[in-house]
């Protein structure tokens, strides 16, 4: 029988549990550096296999995708929180994905562009008083609010953005999703402990808001391609999509869409702030569009910004772990991968693989020049995953990030405050621990052209 992949033996009882809780990314990085491309870490009696080489990543995510379920131990715990496309499997997942795919096709995405532009301009107006008063802004919060508003408008059509209660509620959901997989015991959700009460209140707030949007939509006749319309069609076309499931799906989408994109935008700003030459090129490109991109076609006129965005996604992939579990025993790199164990793919580590990314820690957007991309292994760059479970919102996220960044850069100069103190925190997404920014108007004409905002 083939051996298990190598890895640290760790504590006799806990294995590497303590290191995992304290510094998961550091544990994975150290282990792969020391033991190679396929490694194994023991957590109590559970086995976790890490796979980092692009060929092996392709084996799991593409060639043998059918043998790998997303239902790992950790995800099973999360499933109690939200059950949508991202955490389904088998025929149910296939049907659901078929239902939502058309809302994210390239031609359908074009319809979201004016809304993304308008929501960003409104945010720029909100920031104007702080910019004029040279006040520091908590940009993690500000960018999250913007990406959340864009996600809500995209999924619920023209309906207004949610109030602060819904925004806070999604924060509670994300917090719970972060800690739940690591808790030894999770009491059932009906049990009235503090975490459950906060969680149930949050679900109630999101549910009430989403339900009102659904009702409003059902009464409207106009055909629409947004996600809510697709799901509403699904509730009559696909047996079993109840109102409860529909709300769960929308909830999952809000979580999948806004935090990932917000962090990708923040990390791009972080790297731009460290390189004044690059920043100048990107700002010149953005300003050449005058008042920012006017249509999706204008985004192709921002090549340096797009390369910088890709390079930020490489170094700080918001989705830093993709969990899987084999349904049957498998073999990778000559090692036995036992049925039922957890197999983790980490874009963070694959994006630093020395055979594919020389001088990997250096931020270098030229890695995304066309010629360099053409030569690269197809699964060496996987910020949106790969294979059938690849991110359905990847083009949406790319368009959104380019719209937000180009408008921001053409209207404001920005300084990231205490940049040296910024650390990555691997939560549900890989986020900066803090991100405070001081904006100043780049040209008076530009900020004057923004719509007034209440």
- Residues in touch with ligand HEM (CB under 6 A): 70, 85-86, 97, 253, 256-257, 260-261, 264, 318-319, 322, 383-385, 389, 391-393, 396-397
To the nearest whole angstrom, how small is the minimum distance from the Cβ of residue 169 to ligand HEM?
18
SS3 label, residue 330: strand
To the nearest whole angstrom, how small is the minimum distance from the Cβ of residue 105 to ligand HEM?
12
Give whichever of 252 and 442 is closer to ligand HEM, judged by the CB atom: 252
Give whichever of 16 and 429 is closer to ligand HEM, judged by the CB atom: 429
Give whichever of 230 and 322 is closer to ligand HEM, judged by the CB atom: 322
Q: How far is CA 182 from CA 12, 82, 223, 319, 428, in A?
A: 19, 17, 44, 17, 12
Give whichever of 322 and 405 is closer to ligand HEM, judged by the CB atom: 322
Those residues with Cβ within 8 angstroms of residue 308's Cβ, 6 or more apart along the chain or in another chain: 268, 271, 272, 278, 282, 365
Give whichever of 399 and 450 is closer to ligand HEM, judged by the CB atom: 399
Give whichever of 97 and 126 is closer to ligand HEM, judged by the CB atom: 97
- 131 touches 307 (CB < 8 A): no
Give whichever of 85 and 442 is closer to ligand HEM, judged by the CB atom: 85
To the nearest whole angstrom, how small is the minimum distance from the Cβ of residue 391 to ligand HEM?
3
Q: Are strands 46-51 and 342-345 parallel, antiparallel or unpaired?
A: parallel
To the nearest whole angstrom, how small is the minimum distance from the Cβ of residue 65 to ligand HEM?
9
Place of tokens 């051996």: 3
- 219 touches 76 (CB < 8 A): no
- For ligand HEM, the nearest residue by Cβ is 393
What is the number of residues in the chain?
Answer: 454
To the nearest whole angstrom, how small is the minimum distance from the Cβ of residue 26 to ligand HEM?
21
Give whichever of 150 and 450 is closer to ligand HEM, judged by the CB atom: 150
- Sort residue 406 into left (φ over 0), alpha (ψ -120 to 50) or beta: alpha
User: CA 35, 37, 43 angle in degrees (round to 5)?
Assistant: 60
Task: Encode 183-222: b = buried (16+ Cβ within 10 Å), e = exposed.
Answer: eeebeebeeeeebbeebeebbebbbebbeebbeebeeeee
To the nearest whole angstrom, how small is the minimum distance from the Cβ of residue 98 to ligand HEM?
10
To the nearest whole angstrom, how small is the minimum distance from the Cβ of residue 452 to ligand HEM?
29
Those residues with Cβ within 8 angstroms of residue 250's Cβ, 6 or more apart along the chain or in another chain: 84, 155, 156, 210, 227, 228, 231
To the nearest whole angstrom, how small is the minimum distance from the Cβ of residue 173 to ligand HEM?
15
Those residues with Cβ within 8 angstroms of residue 365's Cβ, 6 or more apart along the chain or in another chain: 278, 304, 307, 308, 310, 311
Q: How many CB atoms lie within 10 A of CB 421?
A: 10
């Amino acid at each position: 029988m083939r051996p298990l992949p190598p890895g640290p033996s760790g504590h006799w009882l806990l294995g590497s549990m303590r290191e995992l809780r304290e510094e998961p990314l550091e544990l994975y990085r150290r282990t792969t550096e020391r033991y190679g491309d396929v490694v194994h870490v023991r957590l109590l009696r559970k086995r976790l296999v890490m796979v980092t080489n692009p060929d092996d990543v392709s084996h799991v995510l593409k060639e043998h995708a059918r043998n790998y379920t997303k239902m790992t131990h950790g995800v099973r715990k999360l499933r109690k929180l939200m059950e949508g496309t991202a955490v389904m499997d088998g025929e149910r997942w296939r049907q659901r994905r078929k239902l939502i795919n058309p809302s994210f096709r390239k031609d359908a995405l074009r319809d979201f562009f004016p809304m993304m532009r308008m929501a960003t301009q409104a945010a720029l107006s909100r920031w104007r008083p702080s910019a004029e008063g040279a006040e520091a802004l908590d940009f993690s919060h500000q960018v999250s609010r913007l990406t959340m508003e864009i996600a809500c408008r995209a999924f619920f059509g023209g309906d207004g953005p949610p109030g602060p209660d819904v925004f806070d509620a999604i924060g509670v959901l994300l917090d719970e999703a972060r800690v739940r997989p690591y808790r030894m015991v999770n009491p059932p959700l009906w049990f009235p402990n503090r975490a459950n009460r906060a969680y149930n209140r949050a679900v109630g707030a999101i549910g009430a808001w989403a339900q009102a949007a659904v009702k409003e939509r059902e009464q409207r006749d106009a055909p629409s391609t947004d996600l809510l319309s697709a799901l509403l069609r699904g509730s009559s076309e696909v047996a079993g999509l109840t109102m409860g499931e529909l709300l769960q799906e929308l909830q999952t989408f809000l979580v999948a869409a806004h935090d990932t994109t917000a962090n990708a935008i923040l990390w791009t700003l972080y790297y731009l702030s460290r390189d004044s030459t690059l920043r100048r090129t990107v700002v010149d490109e953005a300003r050449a569009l005058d008042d920012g991109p006017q249509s999706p076609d204008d985004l192709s006129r921002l090549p340096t910004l797009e390369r910088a965005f890709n390079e930020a996604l490489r170094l700080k992939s918001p989705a830093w772990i993709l969990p899987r579990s084999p349904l049957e025993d498998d073999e990778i790199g000559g090692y036995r991968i036992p049925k039922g164990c957890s197999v983790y793919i980490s874009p963070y580590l694959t994006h630093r693989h020395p055979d594919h990314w020389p001088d990997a820690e250096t931020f270098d957007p030229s890695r995304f020049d066309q010629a360099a991309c053409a030569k690269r292994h197809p699964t060496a760059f996987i910020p949106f995953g790969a294979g059938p479970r690849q991110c359905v919102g990847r083009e949406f996220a790319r368009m959104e990030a380019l719209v937000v960044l180009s408008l921001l850069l053409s209207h404001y100069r920005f300084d990231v405050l205490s940049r040296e103190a910024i650390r990555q925190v691997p939560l549900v997404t890989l986020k900066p621990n803090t991100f405070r920014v001081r904006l100043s108007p780049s040209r008076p004409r530009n900020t004057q052209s923004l719509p007034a905002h209440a």
